[in-house]
A and B are shown apart, each in its own frame.
Chain A
Amino acid sequence: MARHDEGVITVGRSRAGTVAANTAGIIFGLFMLFPVYWVLNTAFKPEAEVKSFSPTFLPQSPTLDNFRSALGEELFIPAMINGLIITAMAVAAALVVGFLAALAIARFQFYGRKAIILIVLAVQLVPFLALLIPLFLMLQRAQLTDSLPGVALVYLVLLLPYTVWTLRGFISGIPRELDEAAMIDGCTRAQVFWKIILPLTGPGLVATSVYGFIQAWNEFIIINTLNSPENQNLMAWLLYNQTERGTAWGPLMAGAIITSIPVVIFFLLIQRNIATGLTAGAVKG
């Protein structure tokens, strides 16, 4: 973080202004964190404290009951397993298929390349929910509704354009001279792929699959529409949980934390990539 300091302007800045700016910054940070803090606060309170007209800002008698009761819910663990299976299937398939296309766009000059780039970019902007009606009818006819592979198939399409686009960036970053040097030394195209591009794209593959995991893990509308309660993921469980018999806020917040933990950890690991990915070109100017 320290390197940002280089850009700080010191000329013509009043002390009072700096104090005001620091105060505003701290208030902003607290405001942003408050909902997160409140979720944590609630999750560790016993039910009597959750349902209190004068809520306390720390649990008076902290307890893990809410986590226990969330984990004990009939469909919670199955939803977690379903989510992991669907996500793994979708991410793995997107990675394999997407890598090949990324390779083509990044390393070959061919008629239609621009068209493929255009398709990959445009497809990311299609409001996916708009396609849910025909997708539902198609999967219904193929008898793939209320199944995990059906949802994974839809998620695959959801992840694929982004995967292609990001991996293309990573492959473009590998100096082409490496390929050429290897080919002069007698490597075939296939060997260049296995021995140079694939190993060097490793970090990119990790970052892309982590982002894919987040996308698939966070999705709930599609799975909620296609599958019965037995075949939901954790996000959909969070949604289902709210509509039945009023809201049990404590367990819901505990469930929300359990659901968020992998996402938050993964996100913080790859945040650098996400922050630059969407706007890299614009920053470079």
Chain B
Amino acid sequence: MYAVDTPPQKTAEPARPEPRRVNRVRRRSQRDARTAWLLSLPTLLILAALLAYPLYRMIVLSFQNMRLRELITGLTPPWVGLDQYTKALTDGVFWGVVARTAAFTVVSVTISVLLGLGIALLMRRVHSKVRLFMMIAMMFVWALPALVAAQAFRWLTDSDFGVLNYLIDKIPGVDFANHSWFVNPWEGWAVITTLVVWAGIPFLAISLSAGLTQVPKELLEAATVDGASAWQSLRNITLPILKPLLTIVTTLSVIWNFGLFTQNWALRDGHPEPVYQTLATFSYTQAFGQSRYSYGSAISVITVLLMLGVMAFYIRQMFKIGEVD
């Protein structure tokens, strides 16, 4: 992407200059390399100490059995081999959590991306003042801290004084006074999904609407003149051009939503019932609620492994698209 970034060695090669110059170039590039590594060193050391090492410790921990006793006494926890993993993989509760997290991810990402795309397309059709209003509304939602948004939704859906029950109750023949949204898990998950979609739309719609400006309008007009329907134009012109961007934002949404914690944690008062547990909250509760640090670690390791494919895909896309030169 950046032409100026071509490695200096390459420019020296085809000209085959006299040996002394080659030496000088090599010496300079060696000195450059040393400077570059020196500059990167603090970052690499910090990442090694506070990211790579904990990652290694997490894996080690998952083969041990660390409980509160070991935490207090500082004794080395007993080694238990694959016990934590066997325990997780043979536990119906754990599989329930995995299935729930996966199902939530699929549903919430599908809805978010489709809605985000719809809003982005809608923004192309509306009056410029309406578009400005939509932009401002989305910016406010995007700016809101996740926990504040979750608290707002907890208040909206409060069983006693929540405005949602009040409004629904107004529909003739419907009794929603004191309705509790989290008794029925389907309803509870509908609230959580609405919150996540609502909070996720601004990023998706604004990114995608930026992407839509890349679609040449001459192409769309020509298609319309030739009798293509709106749907045909969308499918055959807009979506193919938007595809790389759609792939990136979808991948990011999958990574974010799979790690759901804040929303179900806050909406369930910091004590999610089993039916509201996701992999992130489950691992956390096992470790810090029940002092099963090793079991929690094993679940985290499994979570990371499950995500590895998606992450690798994201990084490959970034390299392919050329964001990384």
Q: Using a CB–CB distance below 8 Å, which chain A residues touch chain B? A: 1-2, 4-9, 11-13, 17-18, 21-22, 24-26, 28-30, 32-33, 35-36, 38-39, 42, 50-55, 97-98, 100-101, 103-105, 108-113, 116-123, 125-127, 129-138, 140-141, 153-154, 156-157, 160-161, 164, 172, 175-177, 189, 217-218, 220-221, 225, 235, 238-239, 242-243, 247, 249, 252-253, 256, 259-260, 263-264, 267-268, 271, 275-276, 278-285
Contacts and interface: CB of A to CB of B under 8 A. Distances in A.
B152 A264 contact: no
A285 B127 CA distance: 28
Nearest to A279: B207
B247 to A, nearest CB: 8
A272 B56 CA distance: 38
Given A13-B125, A38-B156, A127-B304, A138 B4 contact: no
Interface residues of B, number: 125
B321 A282 contact: yes
Interface of B: 1-2, 4-5, 7-9, 29, 32-33, 35-37, 39-40, 42-44, 46-47, 50-51, 53-55, 57-58, 61, 66, 71, 74, 119, 122-128, 130-149, 151-156, 158, 160-161, 163, 166, 177, 198, 201-203, 206-207, 210-215, 217, 220-221, 224-225, 241, 244-245, 247-249, 252, 255, 259, 261-262, 265-266, 269-270, 280, 283-284, 287-288, 293, 296-297, 300-301, 303-304, 307, 311, 314-315, 318, 321-325
Given A109-B29, A123-B51, A263-B145, A35 B153 contact: yes
B46 A157 contact: yes
A253 B132 CA distance: 27
* Interface of A (DSSP majority class): helix
B150 to A, nearest CB: 9
6 contacts: A21-B122, A39-B148, A100-B42, A104-B36, A134-B53, A221-B265
Given A1-B135, A243-B270, A264-B143, A100 B122 contact: no
A100 B155 contact: no
Contacts of A26: 130, 133
